[in-house]
Chain A
Amino acid sequence: MTQNLGTDLQTEWFADLRINTPAVERRAATLPARRSLKKDHQAAWLLNAVRCIDLTTLAGDDTPDRVARLCAKARQPIAPELLEAMGVSGLTTGAVCVYPTMVGPAKRALGNSGIPVASVATGFPAGLMPLDMRLAEIRYALDEGADEIDIVITRAHVLQGNWTALYDELRAMREACGTARMKAILATGDLKSLENVARASHVAMQAGADWIKTSTGKEAVNATLPVSLVMCRTIRDYVARTGYKVGFKPAGGLRTGKDAISWQVLMAEELGREWLTPDLFRIGASSLLGDIERQISHHVTGRYAASHRLALA
C-alpha cells in the first residue's frame, strides 16, 4: 500500500477541464444497465462490497455502547451460517467510521480484529472551524488510536476558486495525519457543479489525499453515480500523471445491494478491477449492510429474510 505523496499545486492539470453534465448523467445511467450479475457472481460482488464498507455512525446521540454494537457488526457483518454455506471466512467490513470522541470506544470494541478505525475530523461536517483547531482535532483522533482520518474541505475555497487556499489547508491536514491514511471529503452536494467536483478532486489528490470521498452524509445530496463517475475520471488522470493510485469513497447515497453492485461496476469499468479492493475503494454506509445481508440470506436459503432475523448494526 503506497502512500500518495502528492505533488505541488498544479492548477494547469484542471485549468481547461470540460465536463458535459448531461453526458455524464447518461453514462452514469447506462453503466449499471450494461452489466448484470447473477447467482454466485452476484453473491461474490455483494460480499466484496461488504469488505469495502466503512461501517459508519456519525450521529449526535452516539454513545460508546452504540459504537460497540456497530463494531460487533463490523467484525461479523454477515451471519456466520450464511458465510459458512458459501465457504467464505474471515469477512469483515473495511473499517468503522466514527467521530473523534468515539475512536477510543471503537478501538476497544474492535480489539485485535485488525479492522481499522476511521475518524472524521476537521470540524466535520461543515469544516468551518479555525484551521489550528481542525488540525488539533486530527491529532486528537490519532492520539485516540485512529488509523484513518476522514477530513472535510472548506467548500468556500472551491466555490471561490481559491485553489491555493484549498491546497494549503489540505497539505496541512495531510501532514497532521502523519502515517495515517487520509480521506478528503469534498461534500459534492455543496459544490454542485461537476467541474467544481473535478477541480476539488485534483487539488485533494495533489495535496496527498489517499482517498477522495464524496460526502459527509449530511449534505442535501450525497453520493450519486454521476459525481462518482467524475471523481473516478480525475483519479484515472492523476494516476496517469503521477503513478500514485488514489482510492475512492462514495458515502451517504448507497442503501441497497443494487447500489453496491452499481458502484462496483463503475469502479471496474472506469478504473479497473484493482479499484474493487478496500485499499482503493470504500463505501461509507450504515443501512447498506443490512440490505446486502438480506440479499445474501436469500441467495443461500432461497427465502427472503425478515430484518428481525438479522443482527442489528
Chain B
Amino acid sequence: MSLVNDLMNSMEYGPSSEDATAARDWMARRGTFGHYINGSFTTPGQVFDTRDPSTGDVLARVTQGSADDVAAAVKAARKAQKSWGNLTGTERARYLYAIARHVQKRERFLSVLETLDNGKPIREARDGDIPLVARHFYHHAGWAELRDTQFPDHAPLGVCGQIIPWNFPLLMLAWKVAPALAAGNTVVLKPAEYTPLTALAFAEICQEVGLPAGVVNIVTGDGDTGAALVAAEVDKIAFTGSTEVGRGIAKALAGTGRKLTLELGGKSPFIVMDDADLDAAVEGVVDSIWFNQGQVCCAGSRILVAESVAERFEALLYARMTRLRVGAPLDKSTDVGAIVDPIQKDRILSICKAATDAGADLVGGQAQDGCFITPGYLKNIAPANPGMQQEIFGPIATLSTFRTADEAVELANNTRFGLAGSVWSESATVATDMASRIKAGVIWINCANMFDAAAPFGGYRESGYGREGGHAGMLDYLAAPEPKNGGEGGKLKPLVVATEATAAKPDGIDRTAKMYIGGAQKRPDGGSSYSVPGGLAPLGSRKDIRNAVEAASKASKWAGMGGHARAQVLYFLAENLSARADEFAARTNRREVDAAIARTFHYAAWADKFDGRNVQTKPGHLVNVIPEPFGIIGIACANRNPLVGFLSLVLPAIAMGNSVVAIPAQNDPLAVTDLYQVLDTSDVPAGVVNIVTGPRDELATHLALHDEVSAMWYCGTSEGHAAVDQAASGNLKPVWAVPHRDWTGNDAQGEVFLHRATRLKTVWLPYGALPAGTGSAAY
C-alpha cells in the first residue's frame, strides 16, 4: 500500500506549515533590537528575550526602555509634531496611504512574524489581523485628508503616548497610530513586552515610506517602561490592556489634565434567544472565545442561553468544540494556537480551578504540554461564581441559562465591565431591543468580534472610555476649541456653619432654601446650613449625595421618554423660567436670566437632534453608532454665573436622557435652590435633577467615589480636579474637567457638551434574506 493510498483511507489533513523563512531571516539579521526614536534605531541597551510561545524558543532580543529612552522619544516626537501637524491633510494622507500599501506588500511577512511572536494561528493573523491593519491605515489616510473640513477649529493634541497589549499586537498599533497621525499628532508607542516584533517591523515600514523623523517612535519594554511613558510630558495617553493597569494609569494622571483613553477588559455577554439560529450562534462562540485562544478583550465569554433551547445548543456547541484543532500556530489548519506566555496559561488555569472549586463543571479546557489549552466552557455556573465575574482571557467560556428576555438583560448587565455584547435572535424586534438594553460599547447582533476602521470601538463602565475607529475615534485625538478662560468667578469662600449669631436676618416671612432630591425638597442630613448671599443654604454631606444618587437611579424612565418628549419638558421649563424671570433676576441679574432662558431653548432644540451615525464597514452590514446617555452624571459647578452656569451643565446632560446630581455654585447657590419650583411645574420627572448644596469639592469627591455615578463633570480648582480624578478611578468613570468661562456666552453651549453627555454604542447587524448573488438587497 502506498502513502497516498493510506491517506485516501484515513483522510487526515496532514501538516501544512506556513513558510517562516523570511521572518526568521529578518530576526536573524537584526538579532538584537534598540528602540526606534527620531527616525532611526538606537543602539540596544539592556535587553530581554522575546519568545515563540508555542516552542519557548527565543526569537529575538529587544531593549528594556528606560525613563531616559522614553524622554528621548518624547523629545523627538515633540520636535516633529509642529511640522507634522502643519502639513496639509493631503500630505499626511499620502504617508498613511503609503503605510497601508507597505503593510499589504509585506502582509505574509507580518502575518508570520505576528504568529511567531504571539502564538496565534497563522490563519487568523493572515485573514484577520493584517488585513485589518491595512484597512485601518487606508481609512485614516482618508481622515487625514478630511480633518480640516470635518473637524473645523480642532487641533491635534500634540504628543501621544500609546501603550498596547499583546493579543493583537500590530492591529492595536494600527488602531492607535493611524488616528493619531491622521489628526496631526506624533506618537511614542510602547508595544507589549511579550510581542514587540511587529511594532519594530512597523518602524522599518515608517522608514521605508520616508515618514518624517520623530513622527512615530517605538520604545520597547515592560510595565516600567509603560509607567515611564505615563509619567512623561505627553499630551495624551491611550492605553489598551487590563482594567487593573488602566486604573493605575487613571490615578497616575489624576489632575494633570492630560487626555486619557482606556480600552480595558471585559466579560461580554453572548445571549442566545430561543428564536436564534443555533448553528449560527455556535459559530459565533467559535469566533468569540475560541478565537485568538480567547485572548480577546471583547470576547463573548459569558454565554447565556434561553432555557428552552439550552440542551440542543450545548449539544451543538460541544460537537463543534471537539472538531477544533489545537496545535502549531504556523500550521494553516490550526484553529487554536498557543497562549501568549506560561504566566497567562497559569492564570487561565487558576481561574478555571477557582470556578470548579466553586461548583462549576469544566468541559474541555485542558492544559496541554507547552503553552496550549484546549477550548472549553464552564457549565453549571452562576454569577456568584468567580469564573463568571473574572475575565479569564483564555479559550474558556461560561455557559448558563435564562428564562426570559428581561432576565437575560439582567444577567448580561450583571458585570463591572461593558465592552461588548452579542445577541442571537432571528427576530429584528427582539434583537434590537436586547441591543439597546445591554450596557456595552459594541453590540453584535447575530455576529461576533466584527471589527472595522469605520466602526467606533470602546467600552462602558470599567471597560474604559474613549473610542477607536471612525469619526468618534478621530475626536479622541483632537482638541476642540477652548473657551476664553473666565476663571472661577471668585475663590471658594470658606464654609461657615450657620449659628444664630451668624444667621442673616430674614425680611418678611422666613424662607428656607432646601436641597432638591427625588423631586422633593429635602433638609440636609447633617441638619446644618451655611451662610450665603441672601440667607442660608443647606450644608450637604456624603449622605445627601448618597440619597441624591439613589433618587437619580430611579429616574431611568427619563431616558426612555425619547427626545421629543424631553424637548417638550425643556421648552416648558424655559416658559416657566421666563414667567419668573424677575424673581431670578433679583437673585442674579437680568442678563444671566435671559441667558438661562436662551440656554434652555437651546437644549430643548437639541434634545431630539443629537443623532448617531450609520457607518460604512463591509457590504451587507448595517452598522449604527448610537449616542446613549450615561445614566447618572455628577456635576460640580463653578461659582461664576450661578444660575446659567448650573443650567449650562445640567441641561445638556438631561437633554440627552441622563439624570444628574448637581452641586451648584458653592458661594451663591440660592438662585439654583429656587429652581425646584420651576422644575416641579415644568414636569421634569422626580429624580432627573437632584441638587445638593454645600462644600463643592468635598461633595464632588463623594460623587466621584459613587459607583452608581457613570460620569463626572467638574468645574473648579486644579486641586479639586485631581481629587475627583482620583476618586473617579474607582469605577473608571470618565471625568470632564470643564473649563471655566463666562457662562452667559455662546461658547457655553453646543455639541461639545452633548458629546460629553453621551457615550457611543456601535451596533452591528449583518443582513441578507438570501445568499449573496441570489437577489439580496444591499443598502
User: Of the candidates B11, B446, B775, which one forms a contact with A192 in the assembled complex, judged by CB atoms under 8 Å apart?
Assistant: B775
B13 touching A193, Cβ below 8 Å: no
Of the candidate stretches A4-12, A32-40, A102-110, the one touching chain B is A32-40
Q: How far is the CB of B307 from chain A (nearest CB, A)?
A: 16
B-chain residues with CB within 8 Å of residue A193 when the two chains form the complex: 769-770
**Proximity string of chain A (227-270) to chain B, C-beta cutoff 8 Å, 1 when within and 0 when not:** 10000010000000000000000000000000000001000110
B7, CB-defined interface residue at 8 Å: yes
A-chain residues with CB within 8 Å of residue B333 when the two chains form the complex: 34-36
A19 touching B277, Cβ below 8 Å: yes
Q: How far is the CB of A241 from chain B (nearest CB, A)?
A: 12
What is the CA–CA distance of A39 and B15 in the complex, to the nearest angstrom? 10
Q: How far is the CB of B124 from chain A (nearest CB, A)?
A: 10
B583, CB-defined interface residue at 8 Å: no
Which residue of chain A has its CB nearest to the CB of B17?
A38
B280, CB-defined interface residue at 8 Å: yes
What is the CA–CA distance of A224 and B773 in the complex, to the nearest angstrom? 11
B-chain residues with CB within 8 Å of residue A264 when the two chains form the complex: 11
What is the CA–CA distance of A36 and B333 in the complex, to the nearest angstrom? 5
B311, CB-defined interface residue at 8 Å: no
> For chain B residues 1-40, which have a beta carbon within 8 Å of chain A?
1-5, 7-8, 11-16
Which residue of chain A has its CB nearest to the CB of B324?
A34
B772 touching A25, Cβ below 8 Å: yes
B2 touching A86, Cβ below 8 Å: yes
B485, CB-defined interface residue at 8 Å: no
A27, CB-defined interface residue at 8 Å: yes
What is the CA–CA distance of A197 and B465 in the complex, to the nearest angstrom? 45
A40 touching B14, Cβ below 8 Å: yes
Q: How far is the CB of B722 from chain A (nearest CB, A)?
A: 48
B426 touching A18, Cβ below 8 Å: yes
What is the CA–CA distance of A21 and B279 in the complex, to the nearest angstrom? 11
> For chain B residues 106-124, which have a beta carbon within 8 Å of chain A?
123
Q: How far is the CB of A176 from chain B (nearest CB, A)?
A: 32
A309, CB-defined interface residue at 8 Å: no
Q: How far is the CB of B241 from chain A (nearest CB, A)?
A: 28
What is the CA–CA distance of A226 and B15 in the complex, to the nearest angstrom? 27
Q: How far is the CB of A248 from chain B (nearest CB, A)?
A: 16
Of the candidate stretches A42-50, A114-122, A133-141, the one touching chain B is A42-50
A165, CB-defined interface residue at 8 Å: no
B123 touching A22, Cβ below 8 Å: no
A22 touching B620, Cβ below 8 Å: yes
Contact A37:B16 (CB < 8 A) given known A22-B768, A87-B1: yes
Contact A86:B279 (CB < 8 A) given known A41-B14, A226-B771: no
B127, CB-defined interface residue at 8 Å: yes
What is the CA–CA distance of A30 and B333 in the complex, to the nearest angstrom? 12
A233 touching B12, Cβ below 8 Å: no
User: Of the candidates A20, A37, A194, which one forms a contact with B446 in the assembled complex, judged by CB atoms under 8 Å apart?
Assistant: A20
A23 touching B775, Cβ below 8 Å: no
Contact A88:B4 (CB < 8 A) given known A18-B275, A21-B771, A226-B771: yes
A37 touching B771, Cβ below 8 Å: no
What is the CA–CA distance of A27 and B286 in the complex, to the nearest angstrom? 10
B276, CB-defined interface residue at 8 Å: yes
Main secondary structure of the interface of A (DSSP, over half): helix
B-chain residues with CB within 8 Å of residue A194 when the two chains form the complex: 770-771
B766 touching A22, Cβ below 8 Å: yes
A-chain residues with CB within 8 Å of residue B127 when the two chains form the complex: 30, 33
Q: How far is the CB of B758 from chain A (nearest CB, A)?
A: 29
Q: How far is the CB of B503 from chain A (nearest CB, A)?
A: 70
Q: How far is the CB of B278 from chain A (nearest CB, A)?
A: 8
Q: How far is the CB of B423 from chain A (nearest CB, A)?
A: 12
A86 touching B13, Cβ below 8 Å: no
A227 touching B771, Cβ below 8 Å: yes
Which residue of chain A has its CB nearest to the CB of B319?
A236
User: Of the candidates B7, B13, B275, B279, which one forms a contact with A36 in the assembled complex, judged by CB atoms under 8 Å apart?
Assistant: B13
A-chain residues with CB within 8 Å of residue B767 when the two chains form the complex: 22
Which residue of chain B has its CB nearest to the CB of A35?
B333
Indicate the member of B3, B11, B775 with the most A CB atoms within 10 Å: B11
What is the CA–CA distance of A233 and B283 in the complex, to the nearest angstrom? 13
Q: How far is the CB of B40 from chain A (nearest CB, A)?
A: 39
A-chain residues with CB within 8 Å of residue B774 when the two chains form the complex: 189, 192, 221
B446 touching A88, Cβ below 8 Å: no
A37 touching B13, Cβ below 8 Å: yes
What is the CA–CA distance of A34 and B124 in the complex, to the nearest angstrom? 9
A-chain residues with CB within 8 Å of residue B1 when the two chains form the complex: 87
B-chain residues with CB within 8 Å of residue A40 when the two chains form the complex: 3-4, 7, 14
User: Of the candidates A23, A87, A189, A221, which one forms a contact with B284 in the assembled complex, judged by CB atoms under 8 Å apart?
Assistant: A23
What is the CA–CA distance of A23 and B768 in the complex, to the nearest angstrom? 9
A26, CB-defined interface residue at 8 Å: yes
Which residue of chain A has its CB nearest to the CB of B12?
A41
A-chain residues with CB within 8 Å of residue B69 when the two chains form the complex: none
A276, CB-defined interface residue at 8 Å: yes
B323, CB-defined interface residue at 8 Å: yes
B335, CB-defined interface residue at 8 Å: yes
What is the CA–CA distance of A158 and B394 in the complex, to the nearest angstrom? 45
> For chain B residues 746-779, which have a beta carbon within 8 Å of chain A?
766-776
B-chain residues with CB within 8 Å of residue A72 when the two chains form the complex: none
What is the CA–CA distance of A189 and B15 in the complex, to the nearest angstrom? 37
A41 touching B13, Cβ below 8 Å: yes
> For chain A residues 72-110, which have a beta carbon within 8 Å of chain B?
86-88
A-chain residues with CB within 8 Å of residue B689 when the two chains form the complex: none
B180, CB-defined interface residue at 8 Å: no
Contact A25:B8 (CB < 8 A) given known A18-B275, A18-B277, A34-B123: no
B94, CB-defined interface residue at 8 Å: no
What is the CA–CA distance of A43 and B1 in the complex, to the nearest angstrom? 15
B4 touching A36, Cβ below 8 Å: no
B-chain residues with CB within 8 Å of residue A233 when the two chains form the complex: 279
User: Of the candidates A26, A35, A192, which one forms a contact with B770 in the assembled complex, judged by CB atoms under 8 Å apart?
Assistant: A192
Q: How far is the CB of B170 from chain A (nearest CB, A)?
A: 20
Q: How far is the CB of B453 from chain A (nearest CB, A)?
A: 19
15 example contacts (A-B, Cβ-Cβ < 8 A) are as follows A19-B277, A21-B771, A22-B768, A23-B766, A24-B279, A30-B127, A35-B13, A36-B332, A38-B14, A40-B4, A41-B13, A189-B774, A193-B770, A194-B770, A233-B279
15 more CB-based (< 8 A) A-B contacts, given A21-B768, A23-B279, A36-B13: A21-B769, A22-B767, A22-B768, A24-B280, A33-B127, A36-B333, A38-B15, A40-B14, A44-B11, A87-B2, A88-B4, A88-B5, A192-B770, A226-B771, A227-B771
Residues in B lying within 8 Å of A, measured CB to CB: 1-5, 7-8, 11-16, 123, 127, 275-280, 283-284, 323, 331-333, 335, 424, 426, 446-447, 620, 766-776
